[in-house]
């Protein structure tokens, strides 16, 4: 039971960040697995909101989309995307989970194109609700693989705002003060953001990983936090719940 893969580690780390009673906007995949794991361990009163309108469901199994009927299972309300995004605008959502093809030092995300927008090399699905969630939820959590193609000095397109260009930039753009990126969880480390510069820094290294390895896989300087930690490996109870109840068919943790 002690053995685990990178995806299981990332999900366990993300789940631990969600406090009991907090509100979190999630999509499918690893973010949903993290929310389900948190509900089954330390946060039974975690309020989960899905973009399609499911509010506070008790998820029986991993849904395959944000509109899957399981996202409404024993929910407090089956509402609409407009109501969920309005709740974000009203400051009612503590956390959201996002990802993207690229991320920069200020936590801005690109999920639109690689290359020039008019003539892209690759075109992705775009924002969906990502821009809305990142603009108005208090803390944005990012789950992604760690390599130089993703962690880039400059995005090809800014789909979703992080701290934009640095201190004061979110507020100048009309976004609520105090919101923004909180943690970036990868297969190598956990990153946070320096409170003065708002640039990304390493908060915790995963087991067997060193700073040189993290920097080698990052396209911009990534310094350590003043008190650099070590990530706690998944516990036996977390792995049991993750494998037997959250994702028994290995749709996510089997990647």
Tokens for 232?
């706690």
Could you say which DSSP state residue 39 is in?
H
Tokens for 23?
């509100």
82 three-class SS: helix
Could you say which DSSP state residue 160 is in?
B
Query: Which string of DSSP letters, residue by residue, matches 20-32?
Result: TT-EEEE-SSHHH
Closest to 71 measured CA to CA, from 122, 24, 121, 32: 32
CA distances from 117 to 28, 110, 114, 148 (A): 27, 11, 8, 21
Paired with 22 in beta bridges are none
Active-site residue, from 8, 51, 203, 238: 51
**What letters, b where the CB count within 10 A reaches 16 and e where it falls short, cover 180-208?**
bbbbbbbbbbbbbbeeeebbbbbbbbbee
Helices and strands: H and E segment counts in the chain: 7, 14
Distance (Å, whole) CA 174 – CA 223:
29
| Known catalytic residue at 19 | no
Catalytic residues: 51
């Amino acid at each position: 039971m002690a053995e685990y893969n990178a995806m299981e580690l990332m999900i366990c780390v993300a789940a631990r960040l969600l406090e009991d009673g907090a509100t979190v906007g999630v999509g499918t995949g690893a973010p949903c697995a993290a929310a389900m794991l948190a509900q089954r361990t330390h946060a039974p009163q975690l309020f989960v909101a899905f973009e399609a309108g499911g509010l506070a469901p008790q998820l029986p199994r991993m849904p395959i989309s944000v509109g899957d009927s399981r996202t409404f299972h024993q929910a407090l309300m089956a509402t609409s995307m407009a109501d969920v995004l309005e709740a974000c605008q009203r400051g009612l959502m503590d956390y959201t989970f996002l990802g993207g093809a690229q991320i920069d030092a200020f936590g801005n995300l690109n999920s639109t194109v690689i290359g020039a927008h008019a003539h892209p090399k690759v075109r992705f699905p775009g924002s969906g609700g990502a821009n809305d969630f990142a603009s108005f939820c208090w803390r944005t959590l990012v789950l992604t693989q760690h390599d130089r193609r993703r962690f880039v000095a400059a995005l090809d397109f800014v789909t979703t705002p992080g701290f934009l260009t640095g201190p004061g930039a979110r507020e100048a753009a009309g976004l609520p003060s105090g919101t923004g990126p909180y943690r970036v969880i990868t297969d190598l480390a956990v990153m946070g953001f320096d409170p003065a510069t708002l640039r990304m820094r390493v908060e915790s290294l995963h087991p067997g990983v060193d700073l040189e390895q993290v920097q080698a896989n990052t396209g911009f300087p990534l310094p350590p936090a003043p008190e650099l930690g070590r990530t706690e490996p998944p516990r036996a109870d977390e792995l049991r719940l993750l494998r037997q109840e959250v994702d028994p068919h290995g749709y996510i943790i089997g990647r």
